[in-house]
C-alpha cells in the first residue's frame, strides 16, 4: 500500500482458546495534500460470529439437501 497507493483487503483467522477469531482488515493509503502516500489507514473488524453463523447455515443446508435426496 505504501509503495503503490493501492488499497488492500484481507481476511485473517487468528487462533484463540475458543477456536479461531476472524477479522476483516482494510488497508488504505493516507495521502498528503500533494497526493503522495504519507502513511496508511487500517480498519479491522472482528467477524467471528458472522463466520460461525455462515458455517451453521452451510451445515444446515447440506443436511436439508441430503435429507431431500433421500426422500426421492
Query: Are 24 and 51 a contacting pair, CB within 8 Å?
Result: no
What is the residue range of 51's domain?
A: 8-71
Q: What is the pLDDT of residues 17-68, one digit of tens each?
A: 989 999 999 999 999 999 999 999 999 999 999 999 999 999 999 999 998 8
**Which domain CATH number covers 24?**
2.10.70.100
Q: How many domains does the chain have?
A: 1
The H or E element that residue 40 is part of is strand 37-46
Structure letter (DSSP) for residue 35? S
Q: What is the pLDDT of residues 16-28, one digit of tens each?
A: 998 999 999 999 9
**Rg (alpha carbons) of the chain, rounded to whole number:** 20
Q: Is this structure's pTM higher than 0.75?
A: no
Query: Are 46 and 25 a contacting pair, CB within 8 Å?
Result: no
| 2 part of a folded domain | no
| 39 part of a folded domain | yes
Exposed/middle/buried for residue 27 (C-beta within 10 Å: 0-12, 13-18, 19+): middle
Amino acid at each position: 500500500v505504501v509503495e503503490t497507493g493501492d488499497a488492500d483487503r484481507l481476511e485473517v483467522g487468528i487462533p484463540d482458546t475458543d477456536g479461531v477469531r476472524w477479522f476483516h482488515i482494510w488497508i488504505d493509503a493516507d495521502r498528503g495534500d500533494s497526493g503522495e502516500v504519507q502513511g496508511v489507514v487500517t480498519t479491522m473488524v472482528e467477524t467471528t460470529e458472522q463466520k460461525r453463523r455462515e458455517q451453521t447455515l452451510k451445515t444446515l443446508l447440506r443436511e436439508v439437501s441430503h435429507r431431500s435426496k433421500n426422500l426421492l
